[in-house]
Amino acid sequence: MLTVIAEKENIDENNGKILIKDKSDCNHIQNVYRLNVGHELRIIDGEYEYFTEITQISKKEVSVKILEKKRELILINDLNLSIHKKQIVGLAGESGSGKSMTALSIARLLPPHIKEEGQIFLGNTDLTKLKKKALNKIRAEDLSIIFQEPFRALNPLIRAGKQVEEVLKIHTDLSRQERKEKILSIFDEIGLTDGKDKYHAYPHQLSGGINQRIMIAIAAILKPKLLIADEPTTALDVTVQKQILNLMKKLRDKNDTSILLISHDLALASEICDYIYVMYAGQIVESGRVHDIFSLPKHPYTKALLKAIPRVGKKVERLYVIDGAAPRLTDKIRGCAFYPRCNEKSDICMLEQIPLCSLDDGSRVRCIKYTNGDNIN
């Protein structure tokens, strides 16, 4: 079933029917997904979730009949992250856990129909209170994101150097020559040999590893206080992965930058992180220092992720796989979200929402086994 995330002002609900008036959504429904009258359509507008059936289609409007209407969904819940100066913090979990949505929320880049509640502090500044102009300044100078998949994030029609230069052009008063010199300097810092050639190259002329370095240059050239790296080593071979991780440590040490590393790979995160948060179904299920997470994991999900890491020199007939699949963020969950896949579960896990508990060693865990009056946070 196709899901359309629609702006509230672009849909008109009346007597059990919805009229979609957004041309982009109409185009996707008709031309991209080739849906027609009678097909089912799921619509989310930030307040309600509608399950509908298409009744009429035109070039500018799509009319649907409401089959079911539900209140807004909670996608990310009870999230509390802390990142100190020059600290590298990992946010780990399977795909679909809510990691990238968390990154977009921190940077205030979620679409307007997704509501956010709470506070996001960068230093003493609450980002949720800032207007668009102030936010743009913060995003450029104090907070940057390295997005997933550089081939999708970079503009294929603009030379690599010009894409880095755009940041300097908008946010600094440097001359054209000074901008180019600064770009070639950061290319050298991040290990790009033949910097002038890379400057004039298009993304399709460069390898995945080099394009990822271009993305890092864009994010780091203004020396932000916080750098969010969303799966920065995806689709890269092991050697290049190691180079990217070393580069991030170098940027941390040279620029006093704090880094939030988002990854589905706990082993990779452990190589450079000081502290790790483990996320599942939109919630933090465990957090702690890297050594504690690896030496004494507490949540069954963390244990399963660690068990799934291949061990060098250890022969096994079959690699360990966590049974089942992670729930979607849009699924309604009662009790512990990991219950269907957990091999330590009990009936009580399904009865109520489980709080995040603080333990004596400084770690935190969301598991019924650790819930008691002394350590509930």
> What pLDDT is attached to residue 314?
77
What is Dmax (Cα atoms) for the chain? Answer: 67
Q: Are 9 and 15 in contact (CB under 8 A)?
A: no
> What pLDDT is attached to residue 58?
84
Chunked into runs of 10 residues, the chain (377 residues) has average pLDDT values of 73 81 80 85 78 88 86 82 96 93 92 82 94 89 91 93 95 95 94 93 94 94 96 88 93 95 93 96 96 96 94 82 88 88 91 89 93 50
pTM, rounded to two decimals = 0.81
Place of tokens 């690699």: 319
CATH 2.40.240.20-classified regions of the chain: 2-71
Q: Are 103 and 89 in contact (CB under 8 A)?
A: no
> What pLDDT is attached to residue 268?
92
CATH 3.40.50.300-classified regions of the chain: 88-273
The Cα 83–Cα 89 span in angstroms is 7
> What pLDDT is attached to residue 46?
64
C-alpha angle 10/12/17, rounded to 5°? 135
Helices (H) and strands (E) in the chain, counts: 12, 16
The Cα 282–Cα 366 span in angstroms is 12
> What pLDDT is attached to residue 72?
67
State the number of CA atoms in the 13 A half-sphere of 62 facing the CB: 29
> What pLDDT is attached to residue 113?
65
In the 8-state DSSP scheme, what is residue 196? H
> What pLDDT is attached to residue 20?
84
Q: Are 335 and 353 in contact (CB under 8 A)?
A: yes
> What pLDDT is attached to residue 313?
77
The domain defined by 2-71 folds into: Ribosomal Protein L25; Chain P (2.40.240)
Secondary structure (3-state) at 240: helix
Q: Which CATH class is domain 88-273?
A: alpha beta
> What pLDDT is attached to residue 12?
78
